[in-house]
């Protein structure tokens, strides 16, 4: 029982979320995959309702009671919607699904819930898209964990570390090339 509560609590955190809770539950707390998956998904999903229920109320209260907060929120909404509104309007819930489903830091339920709030997206469509993204993120994390365990089993810890370094190098080279091409076009 304590393991389940700990898994849910870690999943609820903004940076760690399901990306840390699921491996921790399986490796450290020695939970089986289905149980760890279930409690990790529950924990990741709880903040969606809290954020969407209270963020509007809190921002309205701050705007009414502090003039600088009213200016802050109006600038935040205007700039964000002007800069990214067309893409959000075009992709909407599909974008939320992919952002929630990618198992990297800062791309989970917290981020997608903030996007829903910032862009005033439809509540239930957004909640469903985020939930489906969380389900996919959990599956992706399990696949990544099993891949890492298999590589470590056959090639040892050094082989796993070398593969991670190689993947990181390809990632940085690719992004350097893409960003370099964007600078050349400007």
What's the rounded Cα separation, in Å, for the pair 93 and 6?
30
User: What are 160-178's pLDDT values in tens digits?
Assistant: 888 889 988 988 888 777 6
148: left (phi over 0), alpha (psi -120 to 50) or beta: alpha
CA distance 173 to 62: 44
pTM of the model: 0.79
pLDDT tens-digit map of 126-139: 999 999 999 999 99
- What is the per-residue pLDDT for 104? 78
- Convert the pLDDT of each residue in 24-73 to its tens digit: 999 999 999 999 999 999 999 999 989 998 988 888 898 888 888 888 88
Report CA 123 to chain centroid distance, whole Å. 18
């Amino acid at each position: 029982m304590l393991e389940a509560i700990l898994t849910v609590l870690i999943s609820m955190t903004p940076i760690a979320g399901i990306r840390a809770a699921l491996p921790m539950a399986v490796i450290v707390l020695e939970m089986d995959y289905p149980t760890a998956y279930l409690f990790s998904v529950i924990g990741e999903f709880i903040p969606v309702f809290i954020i969407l229920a209270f963020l509007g109320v809190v921002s309205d209260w701050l705007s009414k009671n502090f003039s600088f907060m009213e200016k802050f929120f109006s600038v935040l909404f205007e700039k964000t919607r002007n800069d990214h509104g067309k893409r959000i309007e075009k992709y909407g819930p599909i974008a939320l699904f992919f952002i929630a489903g990618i198992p990297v830091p800062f791309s989970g339920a917290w981020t997608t819930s903030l996007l829903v709030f910032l862009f005033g997206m439809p509540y239930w469509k957004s909640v469903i898209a985020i939930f489906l993204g969380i389900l996919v993120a959990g599956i992706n994390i399990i696949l990544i964990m099993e891949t890492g365990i298999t590589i470590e089993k056959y090639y040892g810890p050094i082989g796993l570390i070398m593969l991670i370094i190689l993947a990181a190098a390809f990632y940085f080279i690719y992004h350097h090339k893409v960003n370099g091409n964007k600078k050349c076009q400007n």
